[in-house]
């Protein structure tokens, strides 16, 4: 078990918190704030995390959403960090076809709820290794 934890820690990239994406009252990630930041509909974020849009709209910071919201959050914050904080460039990256994703735009993976390829790409980019 310790070996698994050690290997996970070795590949985990620290991402600094962006307070704008958290509900100030609960301190939890907020799907509506993330959607607004990325400029996607809340329904797209709901699809990405495998939840129904009406419930995500009603309770965007529910504790049950947190594990999957963290995945979207880490992807977004890492991309913004790669663009030195330039969120406009990060949004362009999300919407542009990417050769490392078989010429699909990263946003297509968010829309389909398939976050693993994006997580792998972001991890490769942050460790400066080819995807």
* Average pLDDT rounded to a whole number, residues 122-129: 84
What's the CA gap between 41 and 39, in Å, rounded? 7
pLDDT tens by residue, 42-90: 999 999 999 999 999 999 999 999 999 999 999 999 999 999 999 999 9
pLDDT for 17 equals 75
**pLDDT score at 7:** 32
Q: Which pLDDT belongs to residue 18?
A: 84
Q: Cα 55–56–58 angle (5° rounding)?
A: 65
Segments making up each domain of the chain, as ranges: 26-126
Q: State yes or no: pLDDT of 9 exceeds 80.
A: no
- C-alpha 26, offset from chain centre: 20
pLDDT at 130: 56
The three-point CA angle 58-75-66 to 5° equals 35
Identify the band that residue 15 occupies on the pLDDT scale cut at 50, 70 and 90: low
Residue whose structure tokens are 């307070």: 19
pTM of the model: 0.83
């Amino acid at each position: 078990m310790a070996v698994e934890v050690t290997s996970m820690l070795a590949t985990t990239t620290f991402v600094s918190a962006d307070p704008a994406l958290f509900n100030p009252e609960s301190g939890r990630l907020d799907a509506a704030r993330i959607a607004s930041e990325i400029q996607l509909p809340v329904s797209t974020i709901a699809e990405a995390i495998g939840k129904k849009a009406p419930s995500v709209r009603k309770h965007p910071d529910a504790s049950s959403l947190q594990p999957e919201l963290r995945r979207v959050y880490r992807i977004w914050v890492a991309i913004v960090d790669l663009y030195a904080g330039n969120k406009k460039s990060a949004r362009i990256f999300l919407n542009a076809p990417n050769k490392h994703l078989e010429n699909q735009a990263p946003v297509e993976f968010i829309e389909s709820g398939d976050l693993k390829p994006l997580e792998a790409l972001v991890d490769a980019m942050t460790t400066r290794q080819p995807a």
